[in-house]
Structure 1
Amino acid sequence: MLSKWKNKFSSKEFQLKHDDPEIFVICQWQQKSSPSIWYLIYRWLVVIYFITTWLLSVLLVKTKTDDYQLKWLIYLTNWGYTTCTFQALLAAFMLTGYILAHRKQHYASFKDGSFICYRIYWAFNTIATVLACVITIVYWSFIYNPEKNSLDVMNFLLHGMNSVMMLLDFWIVSHPTRIAHCIYPMMFVTVYAIFSVIYYLAGGTSREGTDYIYPILKWELPFRTLLVCAGVGIFIFILQTLFFLMYLLKKKVHKKLGRRKSIELNSGLQGCEGYVNEAVIAGDEV
């Protein structure tokens, strides 16, 4: 048992490499490995949702000054939401290309070429999923102040629905979750922490005029702020471990619901154009 957990931190586990990239354009719950139109519709609905709400977060500002609008860029919430939007777009484009390649019978060339971007998608999907939960939990636990922050629709979309959407997507996608991939959201927040230090040293201020972006990120108190950053790093590791356990649960549920039906379909559809995706039914990595 201990050796299995040690293997979760081998050099291979940190890599963004998978033997079957096709799993990144397949829904966990579909029975055939042929392209799913329903999954394509879902993927583009997610894109429409994220792009619409992302644009609203940029355009719907309280003060229409250039300085106030530009400061949209300094908040981790918006970095995270942009990541959610980017990975949703990438997933939709990958699946669209996958379906078009199948219809035009150019699947081999598509798999050899276009599937290269699955690594980028895997990294940003991991970052977006974990970071969305970090932002939601940290914001409502330590940052939200009813006297300063309005509880409007946009606030809820950026700090609540971000996690709901990414958790929903987590239970729909079929690609694996690796504990070692916690390094990617950690790297992301490290880049943001470095940015916030530089921004503070350059005399930057928040939209409210304070010399800190978030109350828990005051670089005038460096030791305390470093402890906060370390705590976020530990929290990311815990969340990624929980997502890995949920991934195992998802596979277990899928096996119970789908194995018997997949065996029946396989026996009845041999020689037919479509076939049951046994890799997804049986699960992927453990």
Structure 2
Amino acid sequence: MTAGGTTHGNSGVLRSINERVLLDRVRAAAPISRAQLARDTGLSKPTVSTALESLERAGLVRAVGLEIGARGRAALLYEPDPTAGYVVGIDIGRAWIRVAVADLDGNLLARQDRRNRARGSAGMLTTATNLAHTVVADAGLVQGDVAHTVIGCPGVYDRTADRIRYAVNLPGWGRPGLRGRMEVALGTTVDIVNDANLAALGEYHSGAGVDCPLFVYITVGTGLGMGIVAEGRLFPGAAGAAGEIGFLPLSPRPLEVGDSAAATAASRRGMLEDAVSADAVVRGARAL
């Protein structure tokens, strides 16, 4: 590569970095002026102006008015454009499949819940896909407007094998090739994330975990799960299973103390979920 080519390539990378820094700052502090962006980021005013123009052309930010009460000439204020793209969220559980569409500010545009009557992964994939297309249409959008889809479900997604592990409550959901099949069916890029982890992120951004540097979120439903957030980021552990507390051993099982067979079985993995999930609580109440 020539020296000129190298310089041009480096300039393009630097420009992209500057735009990302400014977009993150606009999202965090909007509405905000160019002068304030320069002060906050340490970038020069010409650099800020050039980057903002590029972000405006891409539809990622927009001008929203003038700064009130400022000395001298009124400054133009900017905010992210939430209509630059839309996202689909799909929650797949044993009893229900839920789909929602939101803009980039997280504003909910449409949602539907449907009973999960599927007996295997193919049926769940078909139900989720059809429901997603319906909800996108309900939001007044077409599939091409959707920038990304996130699927939340029990278990741990293994990227190497492209399969879900430990989703014992979803028959057949662990078949390889899940992400690829979903991307083809939905026509968007797809991320598959543990549902408790997604719930923890939601609490961090908009719920009880706001401004909390370290917390855990525990879900008790068909199964038992936990999401860990540290300094604003998920802590999944080395293999992605840090929150899989349902597989911790519990011995002996509370309602079966003295039963040698049950005490032996209680040493196997998964007994904590068997003892404290919603179904287990109902069984325990009926046994009293």
TM-score by length of 1: 0.27
The structure whose residues are more often strand, as a share, is: 2
TM-score by length of 2: 0.27
Between 1 and 2, higher relative CO (CA 8 Å, sep ≥ 6) is seen in 1
Larger Rg: 2
